[in-house]
A and B are shown apart, each in its own frame.
Chain A
Amino acid sequence: MKSVHPILQCWLALLLITITGCAATPPFDYSLFRSHRPRSILVLPPLNQTTDVNAPYSYLSTITRPLAECGYYVYPVAVVDAYMKENGLPSAEEMHGVALKKIRDIIGADAVLYVTIEEWGQKYVVVQSVTTIRATAQLIDTVSGQVIWHGTQAVSQGSGGGGDPIAMLIAAAVTQMIGNVSDFTHDLSRTANHGMIYNVDNGFLAGPYLPPQENEHCGKY
């Protein structure tokens, strides 16, 4: 019997580590989500820990759809942003500081989604470029102030691959040339948001506008 190539062995070991790493995650605790069951969600412009000034608005324009399709009423994100700016809250930091009672009184939201963007955009790893989005989110009940759901969305997409260094170099160059990096990041953000909310292990529970589902989630996978 032919022995397994050392590089393949290495990959198999890595794969095993990844699998066991996933299995060790404890089940998500939905008790507070279940007991509060919001109908309406206010998404505030995210806090931005990156240097990409477009990241918050790119994010903000891809979050309404997955939440609404999950059955929730989502306040118009751009109108809320403009309204808050007109009322003396020029930045996301200040908007995130508004008291929950005030949000409930003025906007009427049952819950607020607070998002922090941690990574956004391209990094160059040798000849590859990797586009990464990483954001954390907390859904907070406006009456009790409790965190009823929290999640992380992290998604990376690399260019190149294969193993032939010249092919990788060309692939990286082509990916970088296919114009607009921000549009690419924007699409990736859409994918990431969808994944975060529709994940049946730790995503959202279905909201009031969604017809009864097979399970209590809005996602099926």
Chain B
Amino acid sequence: MATIVKPLGLAFCFLALSGCAPAPSLYYWGEYEDLIYQMYAEPGSADPATQIAKLREDIGKAGEAGKPVPPGLHAHLGYLYFLQSDTHAAVLEFETEKKLFPESATFVDGMLGRLKK
């Protein structure tokens, strides 16, 4: 019994805390925006391989934090795989973006159409 109560109590505590926080964020942001900045400001420090590794890490951390990744992240990752000529991984990421955010459908379908050519 105690093993059930404990995590529930913890969850309640987190809920209460997040209720008090001034702005609980909807998404786990990780390095997505910093990478975008770096790829333009210091291109050498954020080549596709580095970005892919860091975004993959962020996706893992988001899962652990129980939060979704922000809109655009999976499409950005898909584009990075495309730059590395990994079409299979690119398609998977674009499809994930569309599944998480149906608003992206038109844009993603256009990208998928180009990838599958």
Contacts and interface: CB of A to CB of B under 8 A. Distances in A.
Most buried by B among A62, A72, A78, A220: A78
Nearest to A58: B37
A122 interface: no
Interface residues of B, number: 30
Nearest to B97: A76
A203 interface: no
A65 B29 contact: yes
A139 to B, nearest CB: 15
Contacts of B39: 78
B107 A74 contact: no
A105 to B, nearest CB: 8
B22 interface: yes
Given A54-B40, A76-B75, A79-B75, A108 B33 contact: no
Nearest to A45: B40
B34 interface: yes
A61 interface: yes
17 contacts: A40-B104, A64-B32, A64-B33, A64-B70, A65-B29, A65-B33, A69-B25, A73-B103, A78-B36, A78-B39, A80-B107, A83-B111, A107-B106, A108-B104, A108-B106, A110-B103, A209-B26
Q: Which 10 A-B pairs have the closest CB atoms?
A: A108-B106, A76-B72, A57-B40, A73-B103, A61-B37, A40-B103, A61-B36, A76-B76, A76-B75, A79-B79
Interface of A: 39-40, 54, 57-58, 60-62, 64-65, 68-69, 71-80, 82-83, 105-110, 182, 186, 209-210, 220
